Amino acid sequence: MKVATECIYCIINKTYELFCKYVDDEEERFVFTKKVLKEMSSYPDDVTAPFLNSRLMRILKESINIDDLYFEEKEIYNKKMLLIEEDIMDSINSSDDKLLSALKYAMVGNFIDFGAMKNIDDKLLEKIIDTALKQDVDISTYEIFKKEILKVKKLCYILDNAGEVVFDKFFIKIIKELNKDIEIDIIVRGEPVLNDVIYKDAISVGIDKFGKIVENGTDIPGTDIKEINEETRKSLFSSDLIIAKGQGNFETLYGTDANIYYIFLCKCDMFAKMFSIKKYDGVFIR
Q: How confident is the model at residue 190 (pLDDT cuts 50, 70, 90)?
A: very high
Q: Looking at the DSSP assignment, which residues form a beta bridge with residue 265?
A: 282
Q: Is the dihedral of CA 215, 150, 164, 202 positive or negative?
A: negative
Q: How confident is the model at residue 3 (pLDDT cuts 50, 70, 90)?
A: confident
The set of residues, in sequence order, having a beta carbon less than 8 Å from that of 122 and lying 6+ positions away, is: none
pLDDT digits (tens, 9 = 90+) for 73-113: 999 999 999 999 999 999 999 999 999 999 999 999 999 99
Q: Please give the pLDDT value at position 4.
A: 82
Helix axes 122-130, 98-108, angle to 10 degrees: 170
CATH number of 71-285: 3.40.50.10880
The set of residues, in sequence order, having a beta carbon less than 8 Å from that of 200 and lying 6+ positions away, is: none
Rounded-to-integer distance, Cα 181 and Cα 272, Å: 38
- DSSP per-residue codes, 235-280: HHHH-SEEEEESHHHHHHHTT-SS-EEEEEE--SHHHHHHHT--TT
pLDDT digits (tens, 9 = 90+) for 211-238: 999 999 999 999 999 999 999 999 999 9
Q: What Cα–Cα distance (Å) separates residue 273 from each residue in 150, 156, 168, 222, 279?
A: 33, 29, 26, 21, 9
Q: How confident is the model at residue 282 (pLDDT cuts 50, 70, 90)?
A: very high
- DSSP 8-state secondary structure symbol assigned to residue 2: P
Residue ranges of the domains in the chain? Answer: 5-64, 71-285
Spatial contact of 152 and 179, defined as CB atoms under 8 Å apart: yes
